[in-house]
Copies of this chain bind each other. A is one copy, B any other.
């Protein structure tokens, strides 16, 4: 909640670099931990969690949970926006692809949510889940 992490440390740099490398794919804390361990420069689990929490707060990383029992998945989405540009994402549940949407249509959605439900949508954090066109096609032919 009150994570700051204002210093620039080696762990932070390497974590960020690795996340960018895996950008768009989903990854668990265990996998991140494993990666650095096998690379010969392990990073403590707590540290990974602390940095991820901060990045999620900033909107650079998205966190989602499938089950309460399995570990959470994180995905690197990118640097925080270019001011003003609204950016939504959708993620395909089949192939895992993460797609960015820049579309006026969603302004309507935001407006509706605010006017009818008093809810101020946070576009950076909201991800639509579903099945993308490619996977939808494949599914039909099977």
Contacts and interface: CB of A to CB of B under 8 A. Distances in A.
Given A105-B112, A109-B109, A130 B136 contact: no
Contacts of A108: 108
Contacts of A105: 109, 112, 116
A119 interface: yes
Contacts of A120: 130-131, 136
B65 A93 contact: no
Interface in A81-106: 90, 92-93, 99, 101, 103, 105
A128 B103 contact: no
Given A109-B109, A116-B103, A128 B121 contact: yes
